[in-house]
Amino acid sequence: MDVRLVDLLKVLELEPLEVNLFRGESRDIGSPQVFGGQVLGQALVAAYKTLEEGRGDCHSLHAYFLRRGDFNAPIVYQVDRSRDGHSFSTRNVTAIQHGQQIFTLAASFQVAEEGLEHAATIPEVPPPEALAPYLAEADERILTLPDPVRRFLAHSRPFEFRPVQPMRFVDPQPSAPVKQVWFKAVDRVPSDDLQLHRCLLAYVSDYNLLDAALRPHGVPFMRLQLASIDHAMWFHRPCRVDDWLLYAVDSPSASGSRGFSRGSIYTRDGVLIASTAQEGLMRVRS
């Protein structure tokens, strides 16, 4: 198995410290702080660890990023078992580092049941085989950027991304606030566990969202201060993250140095499996 995926699975293996208390390690992906998707995925893992067998799967989560995470120190996750009802369970997770809250998550779980169904249709885009993967390390324009920015963009990730729209970090041109990108894990996940795949999907859902809000403005990446403020996610149907998935993102608004984006995630045969929404800081440096 690819070492990048092996390492990500290790990051999602939290250490139990006490009842409802877990510890996770972090990875430096070149950003100034812990990657938001990592904290999101670990917090969902912590919530799942307090759920009794047969209590269902996560159908929605809502999170706030409160402070920058330090990837040189462990993160402690404290879970509050807020409710276990007949069909639904609720967990509230607080991530703590250096004695301060850095992140909070509320997640709801539902026992599987049948009901009415409908879903949006997948946008018409080229299939992943018709698109080239974006490899920042092979993009000569990235070499002109300052070292911290270059290190973040060129970091080798455990997911492969094949964007429909061109990636332009150095000389972006104003365009529609829309982004579509195919993605999948770089190797086969050695488990059919639905919970694990949802935690991995939560991890990767933090990529690509804020980009759509930046597209109308054509501001170079190195002039921006970017950070996730909050993140919401709804899981509609099961999926595997090692099969191709399409992330279709649009941004209806940006104001007050904040950009708002919403996303839909589809399987390659057009099944809507998850929806996301995020507001992020997108401050232009003078």
144 pLDDT higher than 90: no
Catalytic residue numbers read 206, 228, 278
- Any idea which architecture 3-112+126-284 has in CATH? Beta Barrel (2.40)
For residues 225 and 8, the model is more confident at 8
Are residues 26 and 69 in contact, defined by beta-carbon separation less than 8 angstroms? yes
Arithmetic mean of pLDDT over the chain: 93
Q: In the chain, what are the domain boundaries?
A: 3-112+126-284
Q: Binning pLDDT at 50, 70 and 90, where does residue 137 land?
A: low
pTM for this predicted structure? 0.94
| pLDDT (tens digit per residue) in 57-110 | 999 999 999 999 998 999 999 999 999 999 999 999 999 999 999 999 999 999
Is pLDDT above 80 for 141?
no
N-terminal to C-terminal alpha carbon distance within the chain:
44
The strand pairing partners of 22, in sequence order, are 16, 77
- The pLDDT of 195-213, averaged and rounded, is 96
CB 266 within 8 A of CB 246: yes
Rounded-to-integer distance, Cα 184 and Cα 161, Å: 7
pLDDT band at 153 (very low <50, low <70, confident <90, very high): confident
pLDDT tens digits, one per residue of 186-202: 999 999 999 999 999 99
